[in-house]
Homo-oligomer: A and B are copies of this chain.
Amino acid sequence: MRISEMSSAEFAEAVKKGPVVILPFGAVEAHGAHLPLGTDAIQPLAVAEEVAKRTGCLIAPLVAYGQHSSTKRMAGTIGVRMETLKALTIDLVDSFYFHGVRKIVLLTGHAGTIHMAALKSAAEELVWKYEDLRLMVLTDYDYAYRMNDEICGGEEDGHGGIIETSRIMALRPDLVKKKRKKGRSIGPNFMVVRDPQRFYPDNFVGDARKATAEKGKKVNDFVVDRLTEAIEKNFGD
């Protein structure tokens, strides 16, 4: 299931069956004082593991670094440029395609605008190059935020907020700090600035005090259910 643990021969065998490969993208990004820098890696990896159990997908090793804008200058955000992320995505899909894989899910835990555009732009070039490649691109937050009303009761929630904190509490409670607060955001009013962190004085957005492992489990299950359905629908023959 984990490609890194398969031998060359086992991989060759698995590919013959026309598997879906999930290529997970994480990030090293500031998520307030209460969440670990690897928050965006923990989530898609957990989702991928669970989805793989249900669907028989293969899981490729994590792309551990993403592209960051608003959090770029916050301590601990280690990222790459849009161009690099796009090139990396293209190279990896090229390589999987060469070895016979035709169904790929790019699943990213980080969901920044430019980060997503890098993946999508790579994907557009790839499907144009390979006629029989079937490619799905999403962040698990495309699903997770659908739970916003249920989990947050209409309250504003975002990066490192109730949903994200809850999800990490369900997955890696040891990495979530007990002391949490509410994170504010200040509208940048469409200005692109050198120090965008000033619009996020707490490095996260939402009332992290209201996060619980139970809420997190609910969201994680929801994401796994939706992604399982989508993979079956999109890649079922």
List chain A positions with a Cβ less than 8 A from chain B. Answer: 2-12, 15, 26, 28, 30-38, 41, 60-65, 69, 72-84, 87-88, 91-92, 95-96, 98-99, 113-114, 116-118, 120-121, 123-124, 126-128, 131, 134-138, 142, 175, 177, 189-194, 203, 230, 233-234
Q: Is the CB of B191 within 8 A of A76?
A: no
The distance from the CB of A152 to the nearest CB of chain B, in whole angstroms, is 22
A32 vs B10: C-alpha distance when bound (angstroms): 11
Q: Is the CB of A11 within 8 A of B37?
A: yes
Known: A7-B37, A37-B3, A76-B8. A120 touches B191 (CB 8 A): no
List 6 A–B pairs whose Cβ atoms lie within 8 Å, in order of A's numbering.
A8-B33, A65-B88, A77-B95, A78-B99, A80-B88, A117-B121
Check if A91 sits within 8 Å of B116, measured CB to CB: no
Q: From A105, which residue of chain B is reached at the shortest CB distance?
A: B190
Check B135–A191 contact: CB distance below 8 A.
Answer: yes
Contact A87 B81 (CB under 8 A): yes
**B contact residues around A127 at 8 Å (CB):** 192-194
- A26, A77, A116, A124 — which one has the most chain B CB atoms within 10 A of its CB? A124
Q: Is the interface of A mostly helix, strand, loop or mixed?
A: mixed
Question: Chain B contacts of A62 at CB under 8 A?
Answer: 61-62, 64
Q: How far is the CA of A192 from the CA of B84 in the complex (A)?
A: 20
CB pair B142 A36 closer than 8 Å: no
Query: B99 touching A75 by the CB < 8 A rule?
Result: yes
Known: A78-B95, A189-B233. A37 touches B64 (CB 8 A): no
Closest B-chain residue to A86, C-beta based?
Answer: B82
User: Whole-angstrom distance between the alpha carbons of A81 and B31 in the complex?
Assistant: 32
Task: Say whether A120 contacts B131, CB under 8 Å.
Answer: no
A38 touches B4 (CB 8 A): yes
Contact A9 B33 (CB under 8 A): yes
Q: A143 → chain B, closest Cβ, in Å?
A: 10
CB atoms of B28 and A61 under 8 A apart: yes
Q: List 3 tightest A-B contacts by C-beta distance, closest first.
A: A4-B38, A117-B117, A11-B76
Instruction: Tell me whether B8 and A37 are in contact (CB under 8 A).
Output: yes
Contact B5 A117 (CB under 8 A): no
Give complex CA distance A54, B30 in Å.
27
